[in-house]
Structure 1
Amino acid sequence: MHRRSLVVPAVLFLAAAPALAQTVVKIGTASPLSGPGAHQGKDIENGARMAIDDLNAKGVAIGGRKVKWVLAPEDDASDPKTGTAVAQKLVDAKVAGVVGHLNSGTTVPASKIYSSAGIPQISPAATTPQYTAQGFRTAFRVVANDNLIGRTLATYTVATMKAKNIAVIDDRTAFGQGLADEFVKGVKAAGGAAIVSRQFTNDKATDFNAILTQIRGRNPDVIFYGGMDAVAGPMLKQMKALGLHAKLVSGDGICSERLPLLAGEALGDDKVVCVVAGGVSGPQEANYAAFTQRYQKRFKLDVETYAPYAYDSVMVFATAMQQAGSSDPAKYLPALAKVKYEGITGTIAFDPKGDLRDAALTLFTYRQGKKVKLQVMRAN
């Protein structure tokens, strides 16, 4: 009787041992899964999900322990208030890291919550300089910031497109206004071109006739728009209807596969020039192409813009955890700050602020309804 009582706990312990051997590592994503930006937000979730699936398929371990990688997606609706609520929800869920947010206006307030909790955040999309200027050790991004994007677009518009008269419109969001401001600074620094009109709209607007009519009277060569594709598409249609033949220049917010659907015949050929805050060339292009093919097969969708950056963000987290031998944010954060990772979007390494080192930018246009690469540039 006494012997039997000693044996039973031992058997229970042995039976429980395999369950204890696996570590669950939860990675959160935060992006708009509803509203006008839902297609871009879902792109982020899908890219992160592909990375999670790949980590599980490869059996990537941490510190010699088996890991079950789990994705925790949340909808921030492109709304700052919702974004902070989502951030707190992810903190409460004890995620090991967060990929997000999409919009600068949600990324900045959410970053304060992640910082207070000590949870690293990698944005695959937010470009406002304010994000990494706050001094949070937990804030990183895998795309160039607005300072670099605005300056590069301005230089290209003046030097390559030979624009002389430029009108500027922004949607008054942290992203749109910030990018437009940096573009204007870049135009003034480049010299040889004038800002002939500065107009404003909002990120839910559908009627631009008043501002476009005012702009038409200034006869611009180029209209710069700071905002997202959901507004740029209808804006292009109204530009065409008003006989406004200026080219449209913008950042990665409009540089999507959805823009041809949103703009229709108004898109034209070589009428739009946009930039994505990242880019690969040479041998790296094959890896990028293979990723897009896998994405299309997996989700039956084209990559919009941010999926490769979300994928790389998850892989950067995993790499830092492996190097530190731990998924505890406090233990792997120093490794994350020093990481160097060869990703789908290029080499990823961070400067002391958490910005991407030696950031690449890719310029695109649209021809026959398809996005066409013009060139990869380094924003020095």
Structure 2
Amino acid sequence: MHYGGLLGVIGLPWALTACTVGASPAESRARVAAGNGDIVVAAPWPWEARGGELRYAEGLDLAVAEINESGGIDGRRIRLIRPDDRQSVNEGRLIAQRLAEDPQVMAVIGHLQSYVTVPAAAIYDFAGLPLVSPSSTSAELTSRNYARVFRATLTDQAIARQMADYATGQGYRQAVIYYVRNEYGRALANAFEEQYQQGNLEVLARHSYDANREPSPRSLEPVLDAWESLEPDAIFLAGEVPLAGRIIAAIRAAGIDVPVLGPDAMSTPGLVDEGGGAVEGTVVASFFHPDEPREEVSRFVERFQAAYDIVPDVTSALAYDALWVLAQAMRAARTPAPANVSEALRRTDWHGVTGSFRFDQRGELLDRRIIRLVVRGGEFTYLQDEHPDIDGERVVARDRTP
């Protein structure tokens, strides 16, 4: 998966941090961990840029309220601070360094984009701070065997492989791939092709597109002409909103009506906003849908609606789970001390809204499945595993009001 304002505006009191003169941040942090004050968890995110669009903040706030109301961490309350990384690599690094030097901070949940999280992760790990990443899907995040970095979602490769398995199960024996020309698109395309071909199925063609170029019937004409002659059973579109919706509209306008499959980055209302009726029947990966028939999901949706009078989105669920799994580790360790919490995270076996939480030695989730959504009537509906022919779906209103 791929909110801005000054740090002071959002209440991050760097200058007021209590620190013992002459002590290292690690030594000062150990003293704070052994104390009895609030436990500070940092949640760096592009708050100004994305705060109005996503419901990530509400997911964090609900988790904080529930954790503290249920006794906190041995009676100590969780307190969030929310630095704004402005979707910037440089700002993300600066924030990571400041958090690393602040002995009050016990752990970090963030960032949104992989390109910000990956370089920041090196700083957190070196400083000994646990990082739980709820939304960064780049495999590079855990490629360096960090001791304190944990991904609370799936990699791009895992998502693409599971979508390839879905295509195989649907009987799509020949597919074409169209991917955005960046690290995200290439990772998805490569993993989908590799997994698909393991089933003795055929990828007939691969094409890519420029993320900065507006798609048009003329620019897509060579690709669409090639697909018409190849007659694929399905198209895997490894893209992002908003261009993905416009590309599907162009595909349908050319008379190509085979199924289109997409990754989690296409599972937002922007796909329908941009593609209109052309995106009907598009199947995409996701990590959450309020109609998923699991008790953890229904309880979360009920509490979220009661608190905010809106239906949670996928970022609400990812944020909620990330903070709760961190709190469970702190409770298991009986301390917020970063080293103890990191060890407890590696032993975690917990079931959340988005699925089960068990981490391997690299900090990747074990045995985690995506869910799939299908566009029907201009809405994303939950595609039940037991009905791969799209029977049994249910619709959630796009205005997201209860």
TM-score for the superposition, normalised by structure 2: 0.77
**Structure 1 residues 211 and 89: alpha-carbon distance in aligned structure 2, compared to 1, 3 A threshold:** farther
Distance 1:376 1:79 in 2: 38
What's 2:85 paired with? 76
What's 1:50 paired with? 62
Distance 1:326 1:75 in 2: 27
What's 1:107 paired with? 117
What's 2:364 paired with? 355
Residues 314-357 of structure 1: per-residue CA shift (max 9 Å, x gap): 11111111111211212322111111222222321111111111
Give yes or no for the alignment of 1:229 onto 2:238: no
**Structure 1 residues 87 and 301: alpha-carbon distance in aligned structure 2, compared to 1, 3 A threshold:** farther
What's 1:16 paired with? none
Q: CA deviation at 1:217?
A: 0.7
Instruction: Indicate which of 138, 149, 154 corresponds to 2:159.
Output: 149
Distance 1:98 1:71 in 2: 10
Q: Name the larger-Rg structure.
A: 1
Q: What SS does the aligned partner of 2:188 have?
A: helix
Instruction: Indicate which of 204, 207, 221 corresponds to 2:215.
Output: 207
Distance 2:243 2:85 in 1: 19
Instruction: Indicate which of 225, 244, 262 corresponds to 1:217.
Output: 225
**Structure 1 residues 211 and 304: alpha-carbon distance in aligned structure 2, compared to 1, 3 A threshold:** farther
Instruction: Indicate which of 312, 316, 335 corresponds to 2:344.
Output: 335
Give yes or no for the alignment of 1:266 onto 2:274: no
Q: Comparing both structures, which one devotes a greater share of its residues to strand?
A: 1
Is the 8 Å Cα contact of residues 130 and 149 (structure 2) preserved in structure 1? yes
Distance 1:72 1:167 in 2: 42
Instruction: Indicate which of 244, 247, 259 corresponds to 1:247.
Output: 259
Which residue identity lines up with residue 220 of structure 2 in the other structure? L
Distance 1:39 1:262 in 2: 19
Give yes or no for the alignment of 1:290 onto 2:299: yes
Is the 8 Å Cα contact of residues 279 and 346 (structure 1) preserved in structure 2? no
Q: What SS does the aligned partner of 2:138 have?
A: coil
Which residue identity lines up with residue 245 of structure 1 in the other structure? D
Q: CA deviation at 1:294?
A: 3.1
Q: CA deviation at 1:163?
A: 4.8
Residues 243-273 of structure 1: per-residue CA shift (max 9 Å, x gap): 44343211111123443334333322x1x11
Distance 2:162 2:198 in 1: 11
**Structure 1 residues 187 and 137: alpha-carbon distance in aligned structure 2, compared to 1, 3 A threshold:** same
**Structure 1 residues 211 and 28: alpha-carbon distance in aligned structure 2, compared to 1, 3 A threshold:** farther
Q: CA deviation at 1:106?
A: 2.1
Is the 8 Å Cα contact of residues 170 and 226 (structure 1) preserved in structure 2? yes
Q: What SS does the aligned partner of 1:306 have?
A: helix
Distance 1:237 1:183 in 2: 23
Name which of structure 1's ranges 317-326 and 21-30 shifts more when overlaid on structure 2. 21-30
Distance 1:184 1:266 in 2: 25
What's 2:186 paired with? 177
Q: Which runs of 5+ in 2 are unaligned?
A: 1-33, 387-402
Which residue identity lines up with residue 214 of structure 1 in the other structure? P
Instruction: Indicate which of 307, 331, 344 corresponds to 1:322.
Output: 331
What's 1:32 paired with? 46
What's 1:198 paired with? 207
Q: What are the equivalent positions in structure 2 for 1:148-167 lying under 5 Å apart?
A: 148-167=158-177
**Structure 1 residues 136 and 113: alpha-carbon distance in aligned structure 2, compared to 1, 3 A threshold:** same
Distance 1:238 1:214 in 2: 12
Q: What SS does the aligned partner of 1:364 have?
A: strand
Q: CA deviation at 1:132?
A: 1.4
Size of the alignment, in residue pairs? 348
Residues 277-300 of structure 1: per-residue CA shift (max 9 Å, x gap): 479999x71320231243344345
Q: CA deviation at 1:363?
A: 1.7
**Structure 1 residues 233 and 29: alpha-carbon distance in aligned structure 2, compared to 1, 3 A threshold:** farther
Instruction: Indicate which of 85, 109, 118 corresponds to 2:94.
Output: 85
Q: CA deviation at 1:232?
A: 2.1
Distance 1:116 1:135 in 2: 12
**Structure 1 residues 197 and 217: alpha-carbon distance in aligned structure 2, compared to 1, 3 A threshold:** farther
**Structure 1 residues 76 and 222: alpha-carbon distance in aligned structure 2, compared to 1, 3 A threshold:** farther
Computed over aligned residues only, the root mean square deviation of the Cα atoms, in angstroms, reads 2.9
Q: What SS does the aligned partner of 1:359 have?
A: coil
The percentage of counterpart residues that share the same residue type is: 24
Residues 53-105 of structure 1: per-residue CA shift (max 9 Å, x gap): 2112223233xxx3232222233344433332332343344422222223222
Distance 1:85 1:166 in 2: 42
Give yes or no for the alignment of 1:256 onto 2:264: no
